[in-house]
Amino acid sequence: MRYYPRAIAETIRRVGSTFPALIVTGPRQVGKTTVLSKVLEAKYLTFDDLLLRESALLNPSGFLDANQPPVILDEIQYATDLLVYLKMRIDSDGGHGLYYLTGSQQFELMKGVTESLAGRIAVLPMLGLSARELRGLEFFDPFLPSKDFISRALSYDRSDASVWPLIYRGSMPRIWADETIDRDIFYSSYIRTYIERDVRSLTQIGDELSFLNFMRVIAANTAQLLNLDTISKEVGVSAPTVKRWLSVLIASGLVFLLRPYHTNQIKTTTKTPKLYFLETGLAAYLTRWPNAETLEAGAASGAFFETFVVSEIIKSYYNVGKEPPIYFYRDSHKNEIDLVFEVGDALYPVEIKKTTNPHYADTQVFTKLDTITGRLRGTGALICQATDVVPVGNDSTILPVGLL
């Protein structure tokens, strides 16, 4: 099977050389274990193995004696009691790059990590393959609509930058590594494994079909303001249950909540976040789009295009070990900006449109940021399906999606 080199690999090397332990978190099947195995010369152990898990939990000191660092401990969420013993070993032995962990669940796992290994472990979230990785680009800069980023991005080949097959098929490495894999069977199996192994251990779902329906509704609401009451009515469960189930999807790395940008000067109409179902292939499967062409032409195409762009931007930050500094803007007059990057004292606006024929008027709203005292408006961008980079007014640029 084909292996796509991962942008996060260099970050793992760099961060691992400065911390005693490192954990890579993220959804199942995004390649956490594979990239660690490619990057490191270390013994690999997985707690999917019940006998190994039992050994670690019944005799943690003996387990660590038998498995000297550097060592990769896969699916550590199944053996969180081991974390306190890792702390003692780290404090006793010292050094860097001792233990490399992976985890698909972030609820109890991250609680255990922060309580037991605070100050001793680096946390790197990871998502599926980015468009850059699929195209084999060695361009790792996190996205920012700055002139410097655009000039650097233009130096890379973007001749094969069609996004709809990627949006429809998704970003799971296995689905690209083996062209014989049936997409629908892959995602059907993925959901079943996810519910049985991750969801059940995090919350009492009671009815699996209700949770599956909940996932479908969440996927159908991608790139929309989160409305718990509406989702509750559609799924047929209480709003508190929806909130609890949504927290599971967030903890699993499948859903991202984008917060509204807020200062005392902006009278926002809502404090409600926008919801993004980051794995577009899974979202398209859940919402039953039969192929990429139908999805591109369908009523949900704008939402899926926006979700793809936001997901790619998030990946570009995660891959270099940074949190994406992104928000959305909405004021009391219903002026909206899809993304606002807060970097230092500057705000960089981004509008996302599926169109191939963008207009200058689409960037007019960027001037609303000029009214915010203490913040400078940086260069803006309109990300769309245009083929050329075109400067427009308001110090902004029309930016083809292939440059992400």
What domains are defined for the chain?
A: 8-125 (3.40.50.300), 131-403 (no CATH)
- How many angstroms separate the CA atoms of 371 and 55, rounded? 61
pLDDT value of residue 377: 94
pLDDT per 10-residue tile (average), the chain, 404 residues: 93 96 93 95 93 94 95 91 93 91 74 82 95 92 93 75 90 92 95 81 68 95 96 93 91 94 74 96 97 96 98 98 96 91 96 91 91 91 92 88 90
Give the model's pLDDT for residue 27.
Answer: 92
How far is 316 from 11, CA to CA, in rounded Å? 12
Q: What is the pLDDT of residue 151?
A: 87
Task: Give the number of other CB atoms < 10 A from CB of residue 162.
Answer: 13
Reduce the DSSP state of residue 351 to 3 states and report it: strand
Q: From residue 393, how far is each of 168, 207, 335, 338 by CA, in Å?
A: 34, 53, 18, 18
**Residue 105 confidence (pLDDT):** 65
252 contacts 104 by C-beta, under 8 angstroms: yes
pLDDT for the residue 209:
83
- Contact assessment for residue 396 and residue 366, using Cβ atoms and an 8 Å cutoff: yes
Predicted pLDDT at 202: 59
- From start to end of 178-324, where are the E strands? 224-225, 255-258, 274-277
pLDDT of 205 reads 62
Q: What does the alpha-carbon distance between residue 116 and residue 114 come to, in Å, rounded to a whole number?
A: 6
